[in-house]
Structure 1
Amino acid sequence: MEETFPFHYTLMDYLLCLFGLLMSLVDIGLDCWTVVSFYQNGNYVYMGVLIFFLLGSSLLVQVFSWIWYSDTPDNLQTHVEKFVKKHHLLKAFHFMQLAVYLRYAGLVEISTHRFLRSDRFKEGVSVNLNHDLFMLRLIEAFAENAPQLTLMMSIIAMRRELTLLTALKTLGSASALAASVVTYHRIMREFLPDKHKLKWSSSLVYFLWNLLLILARVTALALFASVFPCYIIAHFLSVWMVLVLVVWGQKTNFMDSSCGEWLYRGTVGLIWYFSWFNVGSGSTKLKNIIYYAVMGLDTMALLGFWCWKMEYCIPPFRPYIMIIILASLYVLGILMKILYYKKFHPNCDEKKTELHEDEPAMRAVACSAFIETDSAESSDFTKPVTGAQKRMRMMASNFY
């Protein structure tokens, strides 16, 4: 990697990394506490489902991490990674479900080194590590937290025990999901040459529309699961398979192997089940219209079945009010997304691609990849790249 790799890992990024590590440890503690609570209360079915979500998502994250380490076996840059590789502990770390914490340790080490010595080489490596780490966190969020939130909300709906505390917990969990999307979105912005001009206002709008849409979707799934607990599995499998085929039709090229690419497509299908995640090049307007129209109809259908079932249990006006509220959240979320792309979404200025002689061509490539895909095609890259740089470049060109 070039010493003048044009990215800047700030103190705020460093502190957010430490905060993310702390929250990850807290999340493990809360998950263990929830499992124990289900066991003590005799809710063995809920406990089993929750353990399935926890283990399944962790296994998925470890597989992605292992594939990414295997794709670039000679690019382990940190002392932590080199130590683990030297003593043949990489497989052991992944087997013990510790891949995320290994990456956190490497990022903290290299970021600390960067601040103490102001090393631009280490700065670029930090961006690579940051991207893969938060991509894994995003996968974990939708493979574990989203299904777990759906389970918890369905339990609340079945027991009809909605209190202010449970409502705040639900809102907090949904906010954490939206925050994971925003965090990854900001990581992609590292590729913008004018990153220092970014404002938090755009991230706030981005967070709000994701929160509204995720909350509407997850609530509808939870209400449906509360009255048709078995059919929610059939619903997920049928919708997920269709979404995977759609991802396949996008001709994605995110991973370096065909098996890894199909794993990625299946994971994107899982994310799409809850929220939009752009993975293809070209115009995104039509894709967004189709996605939100289809998912909106699916969400309303789930609410319709729930309302039909609940008419036999409680007065009918309550389910209708819930449908109106969730439909309003969904529409408001779409309107806020339109506002974001009209007023806050960054586009790369072609005039900023002029380079100094001592700067690498990577800067021009990074900027050209960010030109809005609705108005121009991304430039062909003459130099093949693999590993983290390929993944960052691919996702960045899709995001911007």
Structure 2
Amino acid sequence: MEESFPFKYSLLEYLFTLVGLLLFLLDIVLDIWTVVSFYQDEAYVYMGVMIFLLVGSSVLLQVFSWLWYSDSLETKLDTKVEEFANGHLLIKPLHFFQLGVYLRYAGVIEISTTRFHQKANSFIEGVAVYLNHDLQMLRLFEAFSESAPQLILMMCRTLQRGELELITGLKILSSAAAIAFTVAMYHRCMRSFLEEKRKMSWISTGIYFLWNLLLIIPRVTALALFCSVLPCYIIAHFLSLWMLLVLGVWSQKTDHMESPGWEWLYRATVGLIWYFSWFNVSTGSMKLKTILYYGVMGLDTMMLLGFWCWKVFEYTGCWRSLNPYIAIPTLLVLYIAGILLKIIYYKWFHPNCDEKKIAKPIEQQKIRQSAAFYGDMVTDSLVSSSGAVAATLAQPVTGVLKRGRNMAANFY
């Protein structure tokens, strides 16, 4: 990694990774508890949908994790735990048994711990940043393929039972906050690619989290309200809008995966994220894209709320739980407030820079190969300086290096 753009992996980010692992494990326990609760209440349809969401999201994450590992299996991996798993042919079985994400957590924690026990090294920090990027991206996929649909399912169940209590409302709010927090953590991960903006203030993070929360709440609430009165039509709504969104991602000419065939899986996943929230996947001016996106999603949200208001009078349970004349204006105010707060963030807090200023890594394999010719002292120099030899070894990168830099370029 060149010294002109050294990577930094702070202790706080390391702690967030540990907390993320604990929350990931806690989420599994809560998911099992929810499935058991649906079974005890004899809500077998909800239980079936819940299991489908859990299995579908887990398989999606394992597929992406395995594809990203496959990019580097022929070369030496970055951590001992990954090398051990690869040497004993365990990476594929671990992903088959839905344990690939835990392997990634172990790798990030290992190299992060190594970074804090050894002398500061920009290469080790860079590896930690890139591995953490893949992990945060998988968590982002999980948030919108599992957590957001689960939140809609929970809200729909609550509305149909007509039991909107304070504790239930707090649970719903905390679930929405967890999704927005995941998005904010991905946002902090992207900041590692810029030198002058790396020390990001908590005010910036707080604003980023808040505008995402204010936009996610009206969206998932509108979907839950629509589903509570017209449950048979929510699948048709999702498929029709999702296919339109996937075509929108395709029009951006994304190049995230190594294989053109698997690129469509990535586009389909981004389309799923767009169904709930905005996620930039291409470089260039973002103003027109965001205006178009929020215009379409705003009209769609209004349509969902309109159908709910039309049908809600036939469902006395939903009527007792939520008054349309209060709920709809409140959701619209939250949506508009979220957009205004996003404008404030991008005007005063978001770093805008040239793509050329995003940190460029030197491939680890190139550095290892150089050791045989230049010796260890020169190799260390390659890692920590921007000398002529380092410039010579800089090559077009693939795998995690390509993904990280492309997403950083899109983000900024």
Per the normalisation by structure 1, the TM-score is 0.90
Q: 1:350 to 1:242 in 2, by over 3 A?
A: closer
What is the rounded CA distance, in whole Å, between the counterparts of 1:139 and 1:273 in structure 2? 12
Matches within 5 A, 1:134-145: 134-145=136-147
Per-residue CA deviations over 1:4-48 (Å, capped at 9, x if unaligned) read: 971011111111111111111110100011111111121111110
Query: Offset at 1:312?
Result: 3.4
Cα contact 1:217–1:299 (8 A) shared by 2 = yes
Of residues 300, 324, 332, the one that matches 1:319 is: 324
Q: 1:64 maps to which residue?
A: 64
* Whole-angstrom CA distance in 1 between matches of 2:406 and 2:398: 10
1:377 matched residue in structure 2:
none
Q: What are the within-5 Å matches in structure 2 for residues 290-309 of structure 1? A: 290-309=292-311
Distance 1:349 1:280 in 2: 14
How large is the RMSD of aligned CA atoms in angstroms? Answer: 2.4
Report the 3-state secondary structure (helix = DSSP H, G, I; strand = E; otherwise coil) of the residue aligned with 1:321. Answer: helix
Equivalent residue, structure 1, for 2:367: none
What one-letter code is carried by the residue in structure 2 that aligns with 1:284? M
Letter of the aligned partner of 2:145 in structure 1? A
Deviation at 1:282, TM superposition (A): 1.0
> Which residue matches 1:238?
240
Partner SS state of residue 66, structure 2: helix
For 1:91 and 1:351, locate their aligned partners in 2 and report how far apart those are by CA, in whole Å. Answer: 36
Could you say what secondary structure the match of 2:323 adopts?
helix
Instruction: Indicate the residue corresponding to 2:207 in structure 1.
Output: 205
CA contact (8 A) 1:5 1:360 kept: no
After TM superposition, give the deviation of residue 318 of structure 1 in Å.
Answer: 2.1
Does residue 8 of structure 1 match 2:8? yes
Distance 2:152 2:298 in 1: 17
Residue 110 (structure 1) aligns with: 111
Q: How does 1:168-207 map to 2 (within 5 A)?
A: 168-207=170-209
- For residues 87-98 of structure 1, the aligned pairs below 5 Å read 87-98=88-99
- The share of aligned pairs that are identical, in percent, is 63
1:133 is aligned to 135
Q: 1:123 to 1:304 in 2, by over 3 A?
A: same
Correspondence for 1:343? 348
Whether the 8 Å contact between 2:5 and 2:195 is mirrored in structure 1 is: no
Give the secondary-structure state (helix, strand or coil) at the position aligned to 1:88. Answer: coil
In structure 1, how many angstroms separate the alpha carbons of the residues matched to 2:341 and 2:32?
A: 36
Structure 1 equivalent of residue 396 of structure 2: 384
3-state SS of the aligned residue for 2:89?
coil
Give the SS at the match of 2:219.
helix
Count of aligned pairs: 381
Q: Is the 1:7–1:124 Cα contact (8 Å) retained in structure 2?
A: yes
8 A contact 2:6–2:359 mirrored in 1? no
Q: Report the residue type matching 2:396 in the other structure.
A: P
Q: Distance in 2 between matches of 1:313 and 1:44?
A: 21
1:230 alignment partner, SS class:
helix
Higher RCO by CA contacts (8 Å cutoff, separation 6 or greater): 2
Residues 14-29 of structure 1: pairs in structure 2 closer than 5 A: 14-29=14-29
Quote the Cα distance in structure 2 between the aligned partners of 1:350 and 1:139: 25
1: CA distance, partners of 2:242 / 2:356? 42
Q: Report the secondary structure of 2:279's partner residue.
A: coil
1:319, 1:111 → 2: CA distance? 50
8 Å CA contact 1:78–1:106 kept in 2: the answer is yes
Question: Would the alpha carbon gap of residues 110 and 337 (structure 1) be closer, same or farther in structure 2, given more than 3 Å must change?
Answer: same
Aligned to 1:368: none
> In 2, distance between residues paired with 1:286 and 1:397?
17
Shift of 1:320: 2.4
Question: Amino acid of the residue matched to residue 48 of structure 1?
Answer: G
CA contact (8 A) 2:225 2:305 kept: yes
Letter aligned with residue 36 of structure 2:
V
From 326, 339, 359, give the equivalent of 2:385.
359
Tell me what 2:159 maps to.
157
TM normalised by structure 2 equals 0.88
